[in-house]
Structure 1
Amino acid sequence: MLKPTENAELFQIDSLQRAAFGYFLEYADPVTGLIADTSLPGAPSSIAATGFGLSCYPIGVERGWISRREAVGRVLTTLRFLAESSQSRDQRASGYRGFYYHFLDMRTGARTWRSELSTIDTALLIAGCLTASAFFSREDEEEGEIRALAERLYARVDWRWALNRSDTLTMGWRPPGRFLKYRWRGYSEALLLYLLALGAPEHAIEPKHYTVFADGYDWIVVQGGAHLHAAPLFIHLFPQAWLDLRGLADRPMRERGTDYFENSRRAIGLQRDHARQNQGRFAGYGEHLWGLSACHAPRGRLRRKDGRWQRLRGYANRGAPFGPDDGTLVPWAAAACLPFCADASLSALSQMTASHPGLLKAGRFPGGFNPSLPGEGPEGWVDTRVVGLDQGLVVMMIENWRSGFVWKLTRSLPAIRRGLERAGFEGGWLATETL
């Protein structure tokens, strides 16, 4: 039985998770099912946020926040639209070769903001489709259609085409026919992309491509041990919102006696150490106020509360160690890190909500804040937008901490097992569970 303080903590976590889940009810288009990138009026859909939404609907059913019938309707609306939307080289299409443009018009599904055909964002979308298909497993017409549509959407993604005749996946493509020059090589959120591309039922890439991806890893020494470096938190968190990597190791991890889950724990520790040391003398930094990741912020030289000038980076991948850091924090970090370091996350959430009460709007954390800058309260500058990706990460990671629910769903997917095994992963649930 939980102690009284634990009950209080769980109640607060439940409220935070439920409010974050509400984003996907409030910011989904009723006709297309697409999810808005942010809460700003007129924001387009982010296909990655839509993938998070598809993964969060099953959590809402499990928690009693939405009926199964309503969730089925929402998922079907989204999958039917995706399956029927335009796939061509036309600049106003929704996608091409099974991939989707990063940003789509909420009501029409047309490409917007001149965005790229995004390999990683398509992977996040497909992960959501597969998660929904794993949950809606009843033998009835509608849930059967969910599974069939998810399989169809996954099967038509041409992962091999995205290699563009080379050894690693490109980051994207722009019409009428130009691949982006950057590729996914080295540790990043593309870990999920490679595993889906390896496990795909059609157009799968080969294990050699994963080997080249992993050969680009940047290893550093932390407390005498090897650490796979990635400064922003989201890189560690995004793949593991879906993938249960506890005790699983590929060749690079086995050679160094660790795994991705433990590596993420060390990354969180490095962020906390960075905040404790606070070499930039930023307001509020400390053991219970940390969290550097990709987020928006002001741009240019601004005067801080303490009178010093600070160069703000606008949208940037902030991180630790080695930065960059301009005093801008992501308040959702503590909630998203619960499965890895629960004590540190709970203490951070408790202090943050007590000392910065203006952060929560309708119970949701904004995209970022900077307590070193002038503002209406101790929060300093606060982002006016709530970001769909952040809310999805909060919902999923809280649930993985509470019950491991999303991890259980994805462990049941043959494609996930196939992708992990083809990438050379061993141990963990791969060694103890059978499909």
Structure 2
Amino acid sequence: MKVKITSLKSLVLAIPALLFVACGSGSSKSEEDKKETTEKKLTDEQLVDVVQKETFKYFWDYAEPNSGLARERFHPDGNYPQNDAHVVTTGGSGFGLMAILAGINQDYITREQGVERLTRIANFLENADRFHGAWPHWMNGNTGKVQPFGKKDNGGDLVETAFLCEGIICVREFFKDGSEEEKALSQKFDALWKGVEWNWYTNNQNKLFWHWSPEYNWEMNFALEGYNECLITYVLGASSPDHSIKPEVYHECWARNGGGIKSDNVKYNLPLLVKHNGAEEYGGPLFWAHYSYVGLDPNQLADKYANYWDVNYNQTKIDYLYCVENPKQYKGYGENYWGLTASYTRSEDGSVGYTAHMPSNDRGVISPTAAVSSIVYMPTESIAAMRNFYENYKSTIWGPAGFYDAHSAEYDNWAAKRYLAIDQGPMVVMIENYRSGLLWELFMNAPEVQQGLTKLGFHSGKYGF
């Protein structure tokens, strides 16, 4: 079944080895899980810390060893079907930079360890392939050379670059007033961010385009129209000191000629507010409420099109209420087992692929990142899901870097015992925003970010602009 969703290049190409053997099975609550639950009942605070700390390992213990960046995926069993253990992901590495800051803030690592790792990352990014300042979707962690994401996708990827720059700006802000070594690190990251030629990716139109290739030029022709996960690309494009886009680019393309992005659709008595591309009845996969907002704080953030807290809260609540209603009667679904977003998936025949789970594309598979990363919007429901995953399904869903990427009670407790950077990263970062607000404060207090948001017509009661 094909999913009509106009933003997600990643869903077409992200898992080139589309089918491989399914893994993981067991009872709904094993004797091992029951024993552990009886022996040690974590408080909510302890549970949240355990999930954040273990998930952080993806970006620290299991990072690509040469570059220090995030692997596109991590297979604990070492069975990489594409021999891609050294493929690093640009967007996932942006989340990884923010995860390292969270790790320092929570004392999972020392400040000195963070500086050493981040210096290695900055040096790698300085020398890696760039295309008018934008990094590609994938790079080889040994060489820094582009690894094509698809035949024509072998150049700059502006959206992945935007996710990376969220992290770059946070690192710069975190260390800018530190020791001399830290100030030098901050300056390295500042130069990386300022080198992205956002305005060049308009192709002389009032649009931002996702891709450009030196071999295929603009042939992919993917204009970034809202609403999906790409809002941060416009915010950063407007914020760039040297390569800024005009406000018209945002209003005419993203907002669809100054307002076409707005929606009157309502589900479960909750207005969607914006048109979710290809998913207008219920809203899209939940990562649309996460990726732009790991740095961009939606609290009291609005422009003339929407209040973005309401956009994200309503989408999350609709996803939750859909899982509680459970119209397809999948096993396990309910108040403590919910969350539909892009992840690995399992088919009835046992084959495994990748898809954007959402109410309009419900396959009976729950993605832990969906509920966990939504902790900033619905903490009670998020922690309830976390506890259920951890206490009742731990033997199948929990691994060396936290919750595995996907789980299905419907299919005999199947779990995809693999990890993806773009799923692990938002869990660490959104938990940190829930606990301390660190990444939101770093990003939103960056002077050029506030200037860029103001330029596009945003205002924030929380940050005073």
TM range, normalised to the smaller chain? 0.7 to 0.9
Q: How far 1:165 moved relative to its partner?
A: 2.3
1:210 and 2:250 aligned? yes
Q: Matched residues in 1 for 2:143 and 2:214: separation? A: 19
Letter matched to residue 58 of structure 1: L
Q: Matched residues in 2 for 1:75 and 1:423: separation? A: 31
Written as runs of structure 1 = structure 2, the 5 A alignment for 1:2-401 is 8-40=43-75, 41=78, 42-43=84-85, 44-85=87-128, 94-115=129-150, 116=153, 117-179=156-218, 180-212=220-252, 213-215=254-256, 216-217=260-261, 219=263, 220-222=265-267, 223=269, 225=271, 227-228=273-274, 229=276, 230-253=283-306, 259-298=307-346, 302=349, 314-320=353-359, 323-357=360-394, 358-362=396-400, 364-374=402-412, 379-380=413-414, 382-401=415-434
Q: How far 1:63 moved relative to its partner?
A: 1.0
Higher mean displacement: 98-107 or 7-16: 7-16
Q: How far 1:122 moved relative to its partner?
A: 0.5
RMSD: 2.1
Q: Matched residues in 2 for 1:418 and 1:286: separation? A: 43
Q: Structure 1, unaligned stretches of length 5 or more?
A: 86-93, 254-258, 304-311
Query: Match of 1:430?
Result: 463
Q: Matched residues in 1 for 2:436 and 2:41: separation? A: 16
Query: Match of 2:32?
Result: none
Q: Matched residues in 2 for 1:148 and 1:57: separation? A: 18
Q: Do the aligned partners of residues 100 and 68 (structure 1) sit closer, same or farther apart at CA in structure 2, a change above 3 Å counting?
A: same
Residues 114-138 of structure 1: CA deviation (Å, up to 9, x unaligned): 4422111011111111111111123
Q: Matched residues in 2 for 1:287 and 1:224: separation? A: 18
Q: Do the aligned partners of residues 427 and 408 (structure 1) sit closer, same or farther apart at CA in structure 2, a change above 3 Å counting?
A: closer
Cα contact 2:272–2:315 (8 A) shared by 1: no
Q: Do the aligned partners of residues 344 and 67 (structure 1) sit closer, same or farther apart at CA in structure 2, a change above 3 Å counting?
A: same
Higher relative contact order (CA 8 A, sep 6+): 2
Q: Matched residues in 2 for 1:13 and 1:373: separation? A: 27
**TM-score, length-normalised on structure 2?**
0.81
Residues 358-402 of structure 1: CA deviation (Å, up to 9, x unaligned): 20112511111222224xxxx22x112111122211111111111
**TM-score, length-normalised on structure 1?**
0.87
Q: How many residues align?
A: 399
Cα contact 2:133–2:196 (8 A) shared by 1: yes
Q: Matched residues in 2 for 1:328 and 1:217: separation? A: 30
Q: Secondary structure at the match of 2:206?
A: coil
1:417 and 2:458 aligned? no
Cα contact 1:171–1:182 (8 A) shared by 2: yes
Q: Matched residues in 1 for 2:201 and 2:352: separation? A: 31
Q: Structure 2, unaligned stretches of length 5 or more?
A: 1-39, 79-83, 277-282
Cα contact 2:372–2:427 (8 A) shared by 1: yes
Residues 256-277 of structure 1: CA deviation (Å, up to 9, x unaligned): xxx1112211112111221122
Q: Matched residues in 2 for 1:373 and 1:251: separation? A: 45
Q: Matched residues in 2 for 1:218 and 1:295: separation? A: 28
Letter matched to residue 135 of structure 2: Y
Letter matched to residue 387 of structure 1: L
Cα contact 1:186–1:218 (8 A) shared by 2: no
Q: Matched residues in 2 for 1:6 and 1:226: separation? A: 38
Q: Matched residues in 2 for 1:138 and 1:153: separation? A: 18
Residue identity over aligned pairs, in percent, reads: 27
Q: Secondary structure at the match of 1:36?
A: coil
Query: Match of 1:90?
Result: none
Cα contact 1:295–1:315 (8 A) shared by 2: yes
Q: How far 1:296 moved relative to its partner?
A: 1.8
Q: Matched residues in 2 for 1:386 and 1:344: separation? A: 23
Q: How far 1:221 moved relative to its partner?
A: 2.2
Q: How far 1:167 moved relative to its partner?
A: 1.9
